Amino acid sequence: MKLRCTPVMERSKWDASLADLPQPHVLQTWDWGEFKSHWGWQPTRLLFEEANHPLAAAQILKRALPGAPFSICYAPKGPALNFADTALLVEVLSALEQHARRQHCLFIKIDPDVWLGQGPGESPPSPNAAAVLERLSQRGWLRSKEQIQFKNTIILDLFRDEQDLMARMKAKTRYNIRLTARRGVSIRLGSERDLGTFYGLYHQTSQRDGFLIRPPAYYMELWAQFLQAGRAHILIAEVNSGEAIAGLILFHFGRKAWYMYGASSSSYRDLMPNHRLQWEAIRLAKELWCTQYDMWGAPDRFDESDPMWGVYHFKVGFGGETMRGAGAFDYAPLPWRYWLYRVVMPRMLDLMRRRHDFQP
């Protein structure tokens, strides 16, 4: 295989090439790298071509570790390629490993959507996934203890018509969608003017559900950039008085859509606005010619002990297929340094914290 690996400096070429690959991810788009460059990350975009035809792509984000003479690299939801092509996979992994060495990286992390199987059960990985795992292991890639993106998710097949999509939902989900309409909740397409309102709802949601969020400036810049690029849409749920009670931001690229951000007020929860929002987002994704709707996240453990169990119960009501992913993998050019980072440093920091806690 005469594979040519070159850095890409033009937005149009990068996004067009990425869109031409199997299962391209929105976190590999130019806009995502551009946004992250304002928050401490330096993007490098590597395109792999054969006879000027794109076969693979990897947007790699690099960040210096404070007080350390080395950096970390991360290809969020990348690289993008046909993972059934073993020869191509080996070529791309080799290039990523070389990039990590040239950049003096402590490690490089990847977490592509390589599906082990469908359903929440613990079944052996599919033959294609098993081959990918074998190649990663052979080349010294290790399963990462730091999972940044969700490895599992729920995906809806949007090739189905609306009637069929409704029929595949759980009865309670269909009921709540219709109940919301009967109780005077309306859904409208929002704009950048609604981002302040949406962030207020998102902040309420984080406090109520107990998850951490970033500073407002981070989200406002992210959401505005993707809205302006036409790669995101915001939906707002309102009651009759015009009060916003819930919202959703849908990202899309190529033929896939992702429900990445959802928020709701602590009031009016009995009106079930999130059910109607999801349904309208699904319909919007179909209008955008998307063939898949990714509900962005499912539990690591499929039982009630997992903190995402309640959210998972809500999502599976829409009739999608639970997909189990392989997760994140790290490659370290110098394994001993990576071992210090993963094993020794956390123990030292924990010991220092405990000593500090017991000081009089």
In angstroms, the CA 182 to CA 172 distance is 15
User: Does pLDDT of 133 surpass 90?
Assistant: yes
Q: Has residue 354 got a pLDDT over 60?
A: no
Q: Is the pLDDT of residue 352 over 60?
A: no
Asked if 268 and 129 touch (Cβ cutoff 8 Å), the reply is no
Same domain, 140 and 10: yes
Q: Other CB atoms closer than 10 Å to residue 345's CB: what's the count?
A: 11
Question: Does pLDDT of 143 surpass 60?
Answer: yes
Domain-ending residue, one of 261, 281, 301: 281
pTM of the complete model? 0.92
Question: For residue 240, with 0-12 CB atoms within 10 Å meaning exposed, 13-18 middle and 19 or more buried, which class applies?
Answer: exposed
Q: Is the domain of 70 the same as that of 118? A: yes
Q: What is the pLDDT of residues 236-293, one digit of tens each?
A: 999 988 899 999 999 999 999 999 999 999 888 889 999 999 999 999 999 999 999 9
Structure tokens at 239: 């009651």
What is the structure's pLDDT at 204?
95
Shared domain check, 182 and 124 = no
153 in Cβ contact with 296 (< 8 Å): yes
Does the structure show a pLDDT above 90 at 161? yes
Residue 63 pLDDT level (bands cut at 50, 70, 90): very high
> What's CA 258's distance to the chain center, in Å?
8
Considering the domain architecture, whether residues 123 and 28 belong to the same structural domain is answered as yes
In a domain, 152, yes or no: no
CATH number for 80: 3.40.630.30
Q: Is 311 helix (H, G, I), strand (E, B) or coil?
A: helix
User: 10-19, 162-171, 340-349 — which is least confidently predicted?
Assistant: 340-349
Assigned domain for 27 exists: yes
Which of 281, 304, 334 is the last residue in one of the domains? 281
Q: How many domains in the chain?
A: 2
Residues 108 and 222 in one domain: no
Question: Are 108 and 202 members of one domain?
Answer: no
- Is there a single domain that holds both residue 242 and residue 202? yes
Together in a domain, 123 and 24: yes
**With 70 as the cut, is the pLDDT of residue 72 above it?**
yes
Rounded to an integer, what distance in angstroms lies between the CA atom of residue 77 and that of residue 151?
9
Asked, for residue 151, whether it belongs to a domain, the answer is no
Give pLDDT, residue 360: 39
Residue-number span of the structural domain to which 237 is assigned: 162-281
Most confident of 69-73, 101-105, 334-338: 101-105
| Same domain flag for 247 and 175 | yes
The sign one gets for the Cα dihedral 97, 103, 104, 106 is: negative
pLDDT at 349: 45
Q: Residues 190, 255: one domain? A: yes
314 domain residue, yes or no: no
Position 117 in a domain: yes
pLDDT > 70 in the chain, percent: 95
Contacts of residue 317, defined as CB under 8 A and 6 or more positions apart, other chains included, come to 169, 170, 172, 173, 275
pLDDT digits (tens, 9 = 90+) for 297-342: 999 989 889 888 999 999 999 999 999 999 999 999 998 888 877 7
Shared domain check, 197 and 330: no
3-state secondary structure the chain: CCCEEEECCCHHHHHHHHHCCCCCCHHHCHHHHHHHHCCCCEEEEEEEEECCEEEEEEEEEEEECCCCCCEEEEECCCCEECCCCHHHHHHHHHHHHHHHHHCCEEEEEECCCCEEEECCCCCCCCHHHHHHHHHHHHCCCEECCCCCCCCCEEEEECCCCHHHHHHHCCHHHHHHHHHHHHCCCEEEECCHHHHHHHHHHHHHHHHHHCCCCCCHHHHHHHHHHHHHCCCEEEEEEECCCCCEEEEEEEEEECCEEEEEEEEECCCCHHHCHHHHHHHHHHHHHHHCCCCEEECCCCCCCCCCCCCCHHHHHHHHCCCCEEEEECCCEEECCCHHHHHHHHHHHHHHHHHHHHHHHCCC
In the structure, what pLDDT confidence band is assigned to residue 1 with cuts at 50, 70 and 90?
low
Choosing from 246, 281, 316, the residue where a domain stops is 281
109 in any annotated domain = yes
Q: Supply the pLDDT for residue 347.
A: 57
Considering the domain boundaries, does residue 312 fall inside one?
A: no
The pLDDT confidence band at residue 357, using thresholds 50, 70 and 90, is very low
Q: How many CB atoms lie within 10 A of CB 258?
A: 25
Would you say residue 104 lies in a domain?
A: yes
Claim to verify: residue 203 and residue 261 sit in the same structural domain: yes
Q: Looking at residue 62, what is its pLDDT?
A: 97
What would the mean pLDDT of 134-148 be, rounded to a whole number?
Answer: 94
